[in-house]
């Protein structure tokens, strides 16, 4: 490896590691905040949250990598330009393309890694992350009693306390037991109580003091009891054991989540796309086969007798049909009503079939879009490097100042174009590959333009260039104003 390559790669790796860590943290934080309300307050343990955040961090790698490449390339070549190292290299007769080459090779390897990551790691991370997120969301929050309000978090129980203390003890406790699905027939009232967990949190113990159990209509089969009878059992000390299974996270079968496109690899998406298209063609063929029964009059094969009918008789049929269309007295009202109802029914059937086929087409579009995005998120690393490397050599500013501003602008542009392209592709208003690759195509144009400017040593972002150009335009405009009246006089004389 030559000294020049070592210099450029040494200037690249530091900013790349830092910017990737920063962008990964930013997108991970955004992901966490997006689901914060649904996962906060769940008593599932720090290890579960740690695994969830690990899966989230893997899920955002394809998004954070292009931005990290853009930022690091801007900072790398901006620093080289700011400290006149690019100037020294150019003065030695080395072109900017030769300076960029070692980093470009690294970016090619990063692009290949992201493509492999999208095909193998990301589907697995999506499956694990979203299934665990669902498990956490469906887990009930930590049990908490509010004074004077019934708490229904415990299955089959409704509990109310008038006062709670810091040591966990409760005052004036009312417990409705709905385990028999008989309404409010079983009630426990206690003067005081305290709660604690046993068996590693599997059961909640209510230790009740000075109260009574009330059970309405104890024995319905007894002839001596009516619906107003109840039993009372007083106690001085009693324990109630309540299962806390609803407050524990129960792993869901991951097979329920595997049908989503983001959980699949390229091979699985291609296979699903072929199946979806085959089912669409089969459904379309079935609709075409069923259609003739709704148009039996027009689509009946012409008989031999009809072929031999005279022109006069055919004309008479045409005349009769026209009279029927305009509602002459020869047509019965029930015939017109039946015809109208038949037309409305067929129109409704056509609309329903069109909606069903549109849903099938949308599934095909979504599947094809996800297949294309496996490649677009990887190629976007190359596109971002094509923008960042020449732009950094032109700007000649390193650090987190101007490069960050430029990177944000182009990342927002990529994000907006990606969202719009996906929207048009899913709706079928744009060819799916074009919608998926629209952001890369537009940004590739910017990259080619900046690369041409960098190869020509253009002073694209220097104020002096535009000031000189403006002064030249101003001088030409003033010279034109001075010559314009003379030209007008010559025309008048002629």
Tell me which of 278 and 91 has the higher pLDDT.
Answer: 278
In our burial notation (b when 16+ CB lie closer than 10 A, e otherwise), range 341-364 reads eeeeeeeeeeeebeeeeeebbebb
3-state secondary structure of 143: coil
Answer for the pair 133, 35: CB distance below 8 angstroms, yes or no. Answer: yes
Q: Would you state the pLDDT for residue 107?
A: 92
CA distance 118 to 126: 11
What is the pLDDT, as a whole number, of residue 359?
A: 85
Q: What average pLDDT does range 387-413 have in this prediction?
A: 81
- If one compares 432 and 145, the residue with the highest pLDDT of the two is 432
CA distances from 60 to 112, 126, 263 (A): 17, 10, 14
Give the residue, 476 or 384, on which the prediction is more confident: 384
CB atoms inside a 10 Å sphere around CB 68: 25
Q: What pLDDT, on the 0 to 100 scale, is given for residue 313?
A: 46
Task: Show the tokens assigned to 379.
Answer: 């190629």
Average pLDDT over residues 226-232: 65
Q: What pLDDT score does 1 carry?
A: 55
Query: Which residue is associated with the tokens 């150019």?
Result: 90
Q: b/e string for 451-466 if b means 16 or more Cβ within 10 A?
A: bebbeeeeeeeeeeee
> Could you give the CA distance from residue 106 to residue 17 in angstroms, rounded to a whole number?
13
Per-residue pLDDT band at 265 (split at 50, 70, 90): confident
- pLDDT of residue 130 exceeding 50: yes
Mean pLDDT in the chain? 77
Share of the chain above pLDDT 70, in %: 73
Mean pLDDT within 54-58: 91
Give residue-wise pLDDT tens across range 274-296: 888 888 888 888 877 776 666 55
How far is 327 from 319, CA to CA, in rounded Å? Answer: 12
Most confidently predicted of 103-112, 297-306, 318-327: 103-112
Distance in angstroms (rounded) separating the CA atoms of residues 96 and 71: 19
Coil/strand/helix, residue 163: strand
pLDDT at 442 over 90: yes
Strand, coil or helix: what is 197? Answer: strand
pLDDT per residue as tens digits for the range 148-192 = 788 776 767 788 888 887 776 888 888 888 776 666 778 888 888
Percentage of residues in the chain with pLDDT exceeding 90? 12
Q: Residue 90: how many CB atoms within 10 A of its CB?
A: 14
Averaged pLDDT for residues 216-241: 68
pLDDT at 490 over 60: no
**Under 8 Å between Cβ of 384 and 73:** yes
Confidence at residue 300, expressed as pLDDT on a 0 to 100 scale: 46
Query: Residue 382's pLDDT is what?
Result: 92
* pLDDT exceeds 70 at position 303: no
**Residue 352 binned pLDDT confidence (cut-offs 50, 70, 90):** confident
The Cα–Cα gap between 159 and 152 comes to 7
- The arithmetic mean of pLDDT across residues 368-389, rounded, is 91
- Can you tell me the distance from the alpha carbon of 200 to that of 185, in angstroms, rounded to the nearest whole number? 32
pLDDT at 293: 67
Residue 81's pLDDT is what? 78
* 86 or 174, which is more confident: 174
Q: How far apart, in whole angstroms, are the C-alpha atoms of residue 114 and residue 384?
A: 14
Span of 16-20, 66-70, 219-223 with lowest mean pLDDT: 219-223
Q: What's the pLDDT score for residue 150?
A: 81
- Cβ pair 273, 264 in contact under 8 A: no
Band (317; pLDDT cuts 50, 70, 90): very low
pLDDT at residue 237 greater than cutoff 60: yes
Judge contact between 103 and 389, C-beta under 8 A.
yes
| C-alpha radius of gyration, the chain, whole number | 38
């Amino acid at each position: 490896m030559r000294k020049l390559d070592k210099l450029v790669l040494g200037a690249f790796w530091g900013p790349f590691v830092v910017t990737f860590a920063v962008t990964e943290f930013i997108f991970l934080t955004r992901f966490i905040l997006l689901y914060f309300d649904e996962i906060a307050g769940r008593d599932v343990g720090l290890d579960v949250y740690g695994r969830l955040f690990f899966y989230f961090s893997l899920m955002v790698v394809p998004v954070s990598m292009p931005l990290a490449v853009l930022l690091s390339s801007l900072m790398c070549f901006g620093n080289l330009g700011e400290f006149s190292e690019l100037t020294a290299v150019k003065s030695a007769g080395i072109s900017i393309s030769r300076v960029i080459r070692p980093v470009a090779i690294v970016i090619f390897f990063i692009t290949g890694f992201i493509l492999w990551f999208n095909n193998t790691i990301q589907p697995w991370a999506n499956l694990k992350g979203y299934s665990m997120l669902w498990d956490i969301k469906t887990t009930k929050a930590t049990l908490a009693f509010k004074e004077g309000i019934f708490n229904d978090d415990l299955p089959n129980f409704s509990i109310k306390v008038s006062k709670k203390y810091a040591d966990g003890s409760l005052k004036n406790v009312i417990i409705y037991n709905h385990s028999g699905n008989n309404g409010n027939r079983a009630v426990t009232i206690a003067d005081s109580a305290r709660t604690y967990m046993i068996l590693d949190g599997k059961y909640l113990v209510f230790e009740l003091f000075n109260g009574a159990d009330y059970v309405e209509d104890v024995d319905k089969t007894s002839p001596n009891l009516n619906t107003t009878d109840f039993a009372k059992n007083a106690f001085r000390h009693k324990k109630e054991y309540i299962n806390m299974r609803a407050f524990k996270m129960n792993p869901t079968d991951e097979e329920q989540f595997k049908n989503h496109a983001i959980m699949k690899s390229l091979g699985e998406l291609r296979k699903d796309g072929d199946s979806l298209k085959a089912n669409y063609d089969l459904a379309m063929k079935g609709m075409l086969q069923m259609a003739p029964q709704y148009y039996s009059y027009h689509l009946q094969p012409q008989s031999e007798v009809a072929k031999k009918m005279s022109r006069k008789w055919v004309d008479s049929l045409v005349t009769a049909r026209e009279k029927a269309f305009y509602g002459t007295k020869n047509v019965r009202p029930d015939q017109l009503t039946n015809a109208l109802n038949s037309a409305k029914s067929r129109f409704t059937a056509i609309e329903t079939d069109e909606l069903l086929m549109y849903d099938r087409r949308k599934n095909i579009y979504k599947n094809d879009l996800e297949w294309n995005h496996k490649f677009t998120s990887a190629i976007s690393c190359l596109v971002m490097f094509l923008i960042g490397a020449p732009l950094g050599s032109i700007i000649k500013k390193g650090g987190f100042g101007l490069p960050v501003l430029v990177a944000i602008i182009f990342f927002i542009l990529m994000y907006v174009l990606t969202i719009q392209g996906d929207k048009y592709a899913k709706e079928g208003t744009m060819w799916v590959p074009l919608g998926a690759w629209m952001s890369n195509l537009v940004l590739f144009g910017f990259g080619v333009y900046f690369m041409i400017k960098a190869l020509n040593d253009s002073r694209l972002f220097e104020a002096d260039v535009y000031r000189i150009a403006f002064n030249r335009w101003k001088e030409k405009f003033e010279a034109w104003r001075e010559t314009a009246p003379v030209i007008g006089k010559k025309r008048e004389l002629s």
